[in-house]
Structure 1
Amino acid sequence: MGRLRRHSIIRTLPAHFPLRLRRMTLVALGINHRTATLDVRERVAFTPAQLEQALSELRELPQVHEAAVLSTCNRTELYCVTGEGGEQALHEWLGRFHDMPVESLAHCAYHFLEADAARHLMRVAVGLDSMVLGEPQILGQLKEAYQAARDARGLGGELEGLFQQTFAVAKQVRTETGIGRNPVSVAYAAVSLASRIFDDLGKSRALLVGAGETIELVARHLHEAGVRRLTVANRTQERASQLAAPLGGQAISLDEMPDALSSADIVIASTASALPVLGKGMVERALKKRRHRPVFMVDIAVPRDIEPEVGELGDVFLYTVDDLQEVIAENRRHRQLEADQAESLIESGVDRWQHERRLRSGGELIRDVRAHGESLRDAARDQALARLARGEDPEEVVRRLAHQLTNRLLHRPTLALRDAAADDRRDLMDAAAHLLLDEPSDPSR
């Protein structure tokens, strides 16, 4: 009989011995704002109604063992544990689900495997891969994706461990770095500057001039900062009401602005007017009524909404959009420094994930090996008991039991060691000696 090869040993293992020799691969596949246009991102996004169906279909793919889907306005990503051919199967499924040619999808899709996939997920979680560096919303969206995958029974030990490690890293980054503290938008920078001038924004009154997208963001940031006395002045009062009402604010027309100005501690303007809507005279009159209590004013508009001469008045702190851009640029530099520290924490997180993954994989193999040994033991025991029941000599039964059990336990390791020796696999020989003899193998013996 010819020499039995290693692959033959694996192939002829009994069915009741489920050795986990097939390597599962962690795959991250997706598109984002850097790789795909808005049109493509809209086509590939999953609505909440589609998400349950998508997770169900992913789990039914023979190559996919675990799956989670992250879908936001800026990215759609699949995180899966797959077998052989899993990456291609995911590409094809994603195109099929959204009725897109796989070739078109491949032009804007990216993929990461194993540690690179884990690193990417952690970078996403802390906002390092976001359009706005360090933005915090993505972590909440990722937690929702995790919960959806759990509800759909798409998570196993691999993804569960990865997500838990990711959340731990995100918490550490938020705690130990300031990556999310510095404003990087015009609206947020304006509110941040206001908080430096007033000790307690909650006691301040704010007047917002305009009702466009930027002013809407300003209103939200002010409300989150504790400002409850909010007035929105706009050419169309109905639009001002739509913006102010959800925040408990008041809406007025531009004609009513002079009266509101005298009670405003914070004034932020952003209209589409070709001429200033706040002049020096109007502000002077308001300051007299205020008895020269300071006013913080920000002109975000281009062309300007506030006459530049207003900045010459005492007790007025006037900033323009250019001033805010300087603040934003400085904050971006600060965020980049914090991002470098976050990258270091992520690398430590990837190392911990890999370590825990190896331990988990080893635990599975240990359980399989023990189950195999116990199966051989039970078979030998049952045969011995049957012989005793037939009246055979107990001493002879025990000798045969010991002999059979030793041969069955060592048969396959012995064949594998012969193959290893024939192929000069010193790594396997040394590992076997360490595992079975607790000493290195000696080729001279």
Structure 2
Amino acid sequence: MGFLAIGINHKTAAVDVRERVAFSPEQLAEALQRMRVDTATQEVAILSTCNRTEIYCSQDTPDAERVLRWLADYHGLPAEQLTGSSYQYQESAAVRHMMRVASGLDSMVLGEPQILGQMKDAWQAARTAGTLGPQLDRLFQSTFNTVKQVRTDTAIGENPVSVAFAAVSLSRQIFSDLRRSTALLIGAGETITLVARHLYQQGVSKIIVANRTLERAQLLSDELGGRAIVLNQIPDVLAECDIVISSTASPLPILGKGAVERALRQRRHKPMFMVDIAVPRDIEPEVGRLADVYLYTVDDLHEVIAENLRSRQGAADAAERLIELGTDEFMQRLRALAAVDVLRRYRQKAEALRDQELTRAMSRLQRGGDPAAVMTEMARALTNKLLHDPSVQLKQMTAEGRADALALAQELFALEADQAPTLTPPQGKP
């Protein structure tokens, strides 16, 4: 059984491609179960964020092409559309990639911490859907432990560098004094929560939180002394908002060109700054063509983010070393677990032989056999039976010219290797 990681991210695909293969939280359980059946996959988890969609799975024979074809079919896309923008990793490379992703080393914002929470959500979703088996669960747990060590032993997460922070930094470039601005935040998830806190720290005078459920919006707005509304109330407040930042899991745009045009007329064309962090996008792209609107997507935040990365570059090298150690340790444990299964089956076989000889010996003793002779015969018979199969197999391997067989046998049985015999390959073999 082998590990496979396959997906697309902000480095390999533009936002219009990423949004077409994104999974909403409501889709995940059904998608996980369908993929396991459709691709003959034993264990599977899906990570879907604004910057990436990745599938982690365990298969008897890793088949990246089949998984990629399933991803395209599920979202109604031609497979070739994803071929050029996807990547795949197998075995230790898949383990390393997963640890790098969870540590924030593969993120748009180096070292951003939100991805770890999203990785835990992916683990929980697979667990709830019943597609998280023991192998994949061990990989997730090792990943979480490695990320914990990275966060503890390096400075990669010390500075406030994130998509949320970048969005607020960009708003400061548009509005010199945020204290006079009103912000509308659409959504109430982790990213919007971070945006809200950054804006609050910058002294934004008024924060309005819009969400599908009023209760969730109320929790966040109460924390910041703001106001909570539901999504269909956005047109009523849009005209008073200078800053609009949106991040929801909606499959369709929430804010359209017509609503923004009406708001601009009411504002007498006072500029509006908008950041659409969502994938799929929450704000129609046509809004960006309107005069007096500054609309940015996650892909537009690169320059702002780059300015905040320098302090994390040194820590990234140390983090990479920790991830290499974490990958090696996990693969060693995985190989050890494979040996445990073989040893378990061999022990069961040995115990069956033991019980067989013990039953025979007890029967002879009950018939009045000499105890010493019975014990001697039992020991001889058990020894012969335990050594029979290894002896046959070792002779067969050496006869086939497998030069490593004797050395492995000497190591396996802890024998002193005074001088291993030199094997001559069988006639006709190189």
TM-score (norm 2): 0.65
Alignment of 1:297-336 (within 5 A): 329-336=306-313
Aligned to 2:137: 160
The alignment partner of 2:309 has SS state of helix
Aligned to 1:90: 67
Which digits, 9 at most, give the CA deviation of each residue in 1:273-314, with x for residues without a partner? 98999xxxxxxxxxxxxxxxxxxxxxxxx99xxxxxxxxxxx
Give how far 1:364 is off.
2.7
Aligned to 2:296: none
Preserved CA contact (<8 Å) 1:63 1:85: no
Q: Tell whether the 8 Å contact from 2:172 to 2:178 is kept in structure 1 after alignment.
A: no
Relative to 1, partners in 2 of residues 1:414 and 1:35: Cα closer, same or farther, differing over 3 Å?
Answer: same
Counterparts of residues 205-284 of structure 1 (less than 5 Å): 207-209=179-181, 211=183, 221=195, 223=197, 227=201, 230-232=204-206, 247-249=224-226
Change over 3 Å in CA distance of 1:135–1:233 after alignment to 2: closer
Distance of 1:208 and 1:220 partners within structure 2: 20
Query: Partner letter of residue 9 of structure 2?
Result: N
Hey, what does 1:198 align to over in structure 2? Answer: none
1:110 lines up with 2:71 in the alignment: no
C-alpha separation between the residues in 2 aligned to 1:348 and 1:378? 44
- Counterpart residue type for residue 205 of structure 2: T
Shift of 1:144: 0.8
1:380 is matched with: 357
Q: Is the 8 A contact 1:190 1:218 kept in 2?
A: no
Pick the structure with greater CA Rg: 1
Alignment-mate amino acid for residue 42 of structure 1: E
The AA in structure 2 aligned to 1:177 is: T
Aligned: 1:430 with 2:407:
yes
Q: Secondary structure at the match of 2:42?
A: strand
Alignment check: 8 A CA contact 1:128 1:339 kept: yes
Determine the structure 2 residue equivalent to 1:48. Answer: 25
**Cα distance, 1:362–1:191 mapped onto 2, change above 3 Å:** farther
Distance 1:175 1:85, change over 3 A: closer
- Report how far residue 84 of structure 1 moved: 2.3
What is the Cα deviation at residue 417 of structure 1? 1.1
Q: Distance in 1 between matches of 2:193 and 2:49?
A: 24
Counterpart pick for 2:384 among 390, 407, 414: 407
Structure 1 stretches of 5 or more lacking a match?
1-23, 194-204, 235-241, 255-270, 278-301, 304-323
Q: Quote the residue 1:127 is aligned against.
A: 104
Percent of residue pairs identical: 41
**Cα deviation, residue 146, structure 1:** 0.9
Aligned to 1:43, the other structure's residue is in SS state: coil
Deviation at 1:53, TM superposition (A): 1.9
Whole-Å Cα distance in 1 between the matches of residues 342 and 406 of structure 2?
Answer: 19
Q: Is the 8 A contact 2:207 2:226 kept in 1?
A: no
Q: C-alpha offsets along residues 326-369 of structure 1, whole Å, 9 cap, x if unaligned? A: 98655322222222222222112212222322333333332222
Match of 2:314 among 337, 345, 358: 337
Contact 1:429 1:441 in 2 (8 A): no
Residue in 1 that maps onto 2:5: 28
* Residues 1:176 and 1:107: Cα distance change in structure 2 (over 3 Å): same
Structure 1 stretch displaced more, 225-234 or 178-187: 225-234
- In structure 2, give the amino acid aligned to 1:335: R
Task: Tell me the number of residue pairs that the alignment of Structure 1 and Structure 2 aligns.
Answer: 345
Is the alpha carbon distance of 1:71 and 1:428 closer, same or farther for their aligned partners in structure 2, counting shifts above 3 Å? same
Partner of 1:348: 325
Structure 2, unpaired ranges of 5+: 209-216, 228-236, 241-263, 273-290, 293-300, 423-430
For residues 77 and 139 of structure 2, the distance between their equivalents in structure 1, rounded to whole angstroms, comes to 30
Kept in 1, the 8 Å contact 2:168–2:198? The answer is no
- Backbone CA RMSD of aligned residues: 4.4
* Structure 2 residue corresponding to 1:177, chosen from 142, 154, 161: 154
